[in-house]
Chain A
Amino acid sequence: MTVEKQPSQTITILLVEDDAPTLWRLQEALVKAGFEVRAAANLAEARDSLAAGPPRVLLTDLQLPDGHGNALIRETRARFPETEIMVISNLGDEESVISAITVGATGYLLKDAFPTDIAATVHELVAGHSPISASIARFIVRRTQTAGEPAGEPPPGPALNTAKLTPREIDILWGIAKGFSYAEIAGHLGLSRQTVPGHIKSIYRKLEVHTRGEAVFEAVQQGLIQL
């Protein structure tokens, strides 16, 4: 690793979660790991917190009492591009996670993950290693398979444009979906192991829909909107 881990104290996390026990649990795990945690129970509190200054990491639940977490992710993404964003999910199901990815989230954190895993995941995220789960990778590659089919009814599930992914990136996603480690994927594809996280980061960025205009354009591209 070329970049040394920054001292944990300097890493601020904005944690948005309406369920108090879950919030406590996550907060405790992160504080124990040395992060500085700002907690918010709804969108309004989160926006107040953001007004005070950008956090290094935003961890947010999606179903919030005063709105959807995707709105917060989009805002944060637009205002603070440096902030890493991750979704807190009950089940890690692609239905919720994929829509968050398209607005700028990078992966998800399970609410029942073990404290050490929670801390490790955030550390990796800050270090630039965007985690991607096998089920999310599976969803994306399955979608790339159906993308070539003639436009008819759109496939079930959240909208996702995979047109920008390169064949290499799709190969990497296949490897992840099938449970191969980064080293194995790198071996199969003749890559250096260190380049795999970079590809994954790039995949996340390519799945993101940036502006409203682009969203319309991509919806047209995907046949979701008939002109």
Chain B
Amino acid sequence: MSGFAVIPVRPPKRWRLRVSTFRTVRYAVLQILIVVACVFVLHQPPPEPPARYALTEFSLKENGATHAVTLPHFTAHRFSMNDPPVYTGEFAWSEADARQAWSVLLPRFTNGAEVAVNGVVLLDSRRDSAANRSDRATPEIVVIPGSLLHNGANGIAIRLFVWGPITGFLDRVYVGPDDALRPYYDLRTLIFVTMPVVLAAWQAILAVILSIMWIMRRHEVAYGVLAAAMALGTVQAFVPTLAPPQSGHLGGILLASAPLEAGLVLIFALLFFGWKWSRAGWLIFLPGLIVAAAGVFGSRAQLREVFLFVGTPTVGLYLLLLALAVMQVAIRRQNFAILIFGCAVTIVLTCWIHDLLSVLSIVPDRRIFYSRLSYSSMLIAIGGALTWRFARALNQVDGFAGRLVVRVREAEEKLKQSFAREQERERAAALARERSRLMRDLHDGLGGQLVSIVALSERGESIAPIGDAARAALKDLRLVIDSMDDIGGDLMLALGSWRERAVAQLRPHNIALDWRTTSAQGLPVHPELRPWHVIQILRLLDEALTNAVKHAGAMRIQVTIATVMDDAGHACGCITVEDDGKGFDLGDDGMVPARRGGRGLRNMKKRAAQCAAELELVSSAAGTRVRLKLPYRFPDGDASAV
């Protein structure tokens, strides 16, 4: 091991496996408990009137044959519109019962029923749109007109119309006082008719909310898909259902809604769990489209076949896939909301299996379907949870924004402080730099001159050199003060006062100063120009001037200020000082021998180098020319030190 490398802590593989197995088992146990609870609830008998009003013994006339049956009864065929089976039975009625109205209650039947008492038709359920839906256990009740009844046995005949897709079914029939039967009718209507409508309305509202969310946040496709599922469910719930032959193609499309909705919910779940949409995803809608196509183009029998062998298995398959996907995510993420989702899927799946077993008549049952109800409830739960999640996210955003404002303010405060500190340090550093620069400058000029004044005065010699030295000291002081002034990078402003001082210096010597500026601007402006650059340049020019006055014996000095182009094509300043003096010899290396004026010239070279300027000295018997070519950019620090 190399030792100190930080490796993210991950439990060993075996341990991880054990954890995931534990979680899977825990999840499975929970779902099994839910299934058991569901089965228990589903096995609770639906509300039924007292058994003494029940009619169970009927004689069934079917396909020309007659035989006795006991209700509840399943027919074998799936279509019986032309020759419906007729259930004939009897019930006892006496004059004593005439004080209250009597009714016939059909708690459950598929698909349609026509009730006749003593040969008079009282009820045809096919007129009732809600009753035509085989997925809703719509009850029917009808009051028997008193004039129809007579003492003793009364005949009741029920014609059962079946148009699929499931086989016909007739539950126990109740005949008795309306007061005794109607509460059960009302209760069943509430549970199996009103409740789905209420849930559908709820679904409609959520469809609108989720659509708006999706429209505002297009990248959250899951919301859009769920909204579509809700909308489809709503439409399915409110479209009026007609019995054949009026139903036409609508029935097929309604049947197709189940696999389509299941597909949408599956897609929603997959998207919600982070699945990337692929083109193959459209295949999920294929079964639903096949059913719809069969409804539009096929015959009734074909539609029935297609729905039974494509639609129903598809719904089951999708529910199963959904359950597996949710289980996988629930185990991995340990998220409470996903766990609830998983439980809801299990409930729907259990209801669906229950309904399927009922349809296939595998489990003796009263043929009441719960999958639609449970499915609607699940959708509403998901929609509610999503809305809640959305609101919570908004709250988090608000909180985050609030925290951000506080953080930004804190950071700003800190920054301000550190900036102030930095500025203070910067200012102190600049002051220290300026001080040391100033000290060096004063040391170079003023200090030396004052010392020389002291020396001269102590020697008690002639007074004139003392005056010169003092004058030079004053001049240098002015130079330093002048160069400290802010000139905004325009060297011309420094040269202007230098010219005045030069003229004053040359006047006693009767030397004329010829000042030429080739343009009105004179020199380029250098924003990076610092006082110490200015001092170096002005001192350099001073020394050129002093050489011309003291050593060359010049009568005329010409200063030319020009802007020239350097090799790189930049405009650079160029200052030339020429005199008509006798000149001096330059050494082989371009340096002046030390004995006369050498030190001054060496200083000039040094100063030029510090400012990264080029100095060119040409001297002959006809005069001396000092050419100072300024750099394109002045260096930040001492250029000669680099």
Q: Check A138–B487 contact: CB distance below 8 A.
A: yes
**Interface contact B517-A112, CB-CB below 8 Å:** no
* Contact bitstring B474-495, A, C-beta under 8 A = 1, else 0: 1001100110011110101101
**A180 partner residues in chain B, CB cutoff 8 A:** 496, 517
> Interface segment, B21-29, B233-241, B286-294, B500-508?
B500-508
Distance (Å) between the CB of A29 and the closest chain B CB? 13
Provide the residues of chain A in CB contact with B481, threshold 8 Å: 91, 93
CB of A91 to closest CB in B, whole Å: 6
With A93-B481, A142-B486, A184-B517 given, is the CB distance from A114 to B496 under 8 Å? Answer: no
Partner of A179, one of B470, B477, B496: B496
B492 touches A179 (CB 8 A): yes
- Residues of chain B with a CB closer than 8 A to A39's CB: none
Q: Count the A residues whose beta carbon is within 8 Å of the partner chain — how many? A: 26
Residues of chain B lying within 8 A (CB to CB) of residue A112: 470-471, 474
Docked-complex contact B508 and A135, CB < 8 angstroms: no
Instruction: Please determine whether A179 and B485 come into contact, CB atoms closer than 8 angstroms.
Output: no
Least distance between A150 CB and chain B CB atoms (Å): 18
Interface positions of A from 155 to 183, Cβ below 8 Å from B: 176-181
In the assembled complex, which residues on chain A have CB atoms less than 8 Å from the CB atom of B499? 134, 179
Query: Which of A117, A177, A181 has the most chain B CB atoms inside 10 A of its CB?
Result: A177
- A179 and B500: CB pair below 8 A? yes
B498 near A: Cβ within 8 Å?
Answer: yes
Contact code string A129-144 (vs B, CB < 8 Å = 1, else 0): 0000111011100100
Which residues of chain A are within 8 angstroms of B388 by Cβ–Cβ distance? none
Q: Note all chain A residues with C-beta closer than 8 A to B482.
A: 135
The distance in angstroms between the C-alpha atoms of A133 and B498, with both chains bound, is: 11
Contact A179 B495 (CB under 8 A): yes
The B-contacting residues of A in range 16-30, CB under 8 angstroms, are: none
**Residues B495 and A178 in contact, CB atoms below 8 Å apart:** yes
Q: Which residues of B contact A92 (CB under 8 A)?
A: 478
* A68 interfacial contact with B, CB 8 Å: no
Q: Tell me the complex Cα distance, A116–B503, Å.
A: 13
> What is the CB-to-nearest-CB distance from A220 to chain B, in angstroms, rounded to a whole number?
26
Contact A138 B485 (CB under 8 A): yes
B520 within 8 Å of A by Cβ? yes
* Chain B: CB-nearest residue to A133: B500
- Say yes or no for B515: interface residue by CB 8 A criterion: yes
Residues on A with beta carbons closer than 8 Å to the beta carbon of B487? 138, 142
Task: Report whether A138 and B497 are in contact in the complex, using a CB–CB cutoff of 8 Å.
Answer: yes
Cross-chain contact A142 with B488 (CB below 8 angstroms): yes
Cβ-neighbour of B493 out of A91, A116, A178, A184 (below 8 A): A178
Name A138's contact: one of B493, B504, B517, B520 (CB within 8 Å): B493
Query: Does A137 lie within 8 Å of B486, measured CB to CB?
Result: no
**Cβ–Cβ < 8 Å partners of B486 in chain A:** 142
Instruction: Please judge, given known A-B contacts A112-B474, A135-B485, A135-B497, whether A178 and B522 are in contact too, CB under 8 Å.
Output: yes
Q: Are A137 and B504 in contact (CB under 8 A)?
A: no
* Residue on B nearest A185 in the bound complex, by CB: B520
* Given contact pairs A138-B487, A184-B517, A188-B520, A179 touches B497 in the complex (Cβ within 8 A): yes
Which residue of chain B has its CB nearest to the CB of A180?
A: B517
Separation of A179 and B486 alpha carbons in the complex (Å): 16
Q: Please, how many angstroms separate the alpha-carbon atoms of A181 and B487 in the complex? A: 19
What residues of A have a CB within 8 angstroms of the CB of B497 in the complex?
A: 133-135, 138, 179
Q: Is the CB of B478 within 8 A of A91?
A: yes
Q: Which residues of B contact A (CB under 8 A)?
A: 470-471, 474, 477-478, 481-482, 485-488, 490, 492-493, 495-500, 504, 507-508, 515, 517, 520, 522
13 new A-B pairs (CB below 8 Å) besides A134-B497, A179-B496?
Answer: A114-B504, A114-B507, A135-B496, A135-B500, A138-B496, A138-B497, A142-B488, A178-B493, A178-B496, A178-B522, A179-B492, A180-B517, A181-B515
Q: Enumerate 5 A-B pairs (CB-CB under 8 Å) in ascending A order.
A: A93-B481, A112-B471, A178-B496, A179-B492, A179-B515
